[in-house]
Amino acid sequence: MSVTIYHNPQCSTSRKTLELIREAGIEPVIVEYRQAGWTKALLKSLFRAMKAKPRDLLRVNGTPAEELGLTDPAVSDERILAAMVEHPILVQRPIVVSDKATILARPQEKVLDIL
């Protein structure tokens, strides 16, 4: 099985999710998205697979989301998406892609459903 985790090693949920994947006997592709960054195309593909919109995965705590005005309900998905590309920390984590599905692994045990 092929598994990719968009991972932030400073996030305990992300670390625990990675641990669960490895305990299942899978060594995933690990993308440290804060270093690698995002592209609009990749984010759109992930959101489409998750049947989600950018706002659904907008991280507010510990990010510049509020100061950028992204929490205003009138802000468009395109503006949020552009901000996510510019500030990778704005995307909730961890996102896990497997042959079965693409999910936001919060809580981390959700990853077990797609392994």
Edge-to-edge strands, sheet with 102-104: 29-32, 3-7, 95-98, 102-104
In terms of Cβ atoms closer than 10 Å to its own Cβ (0-12, 13-18, 19+), residue 58 is buried
Question: Residue 11 catalytic?
Answer: yes
At 81, list the tokens. 């998406």
Q: State the number of CA atoms in the 13 A half-sphere of 85 facing the CB.
A: 11
4, 11, 13, 75: the active-site residue: 11
Site of tokens 């804060």: 34
Known catalytic residues are: 11
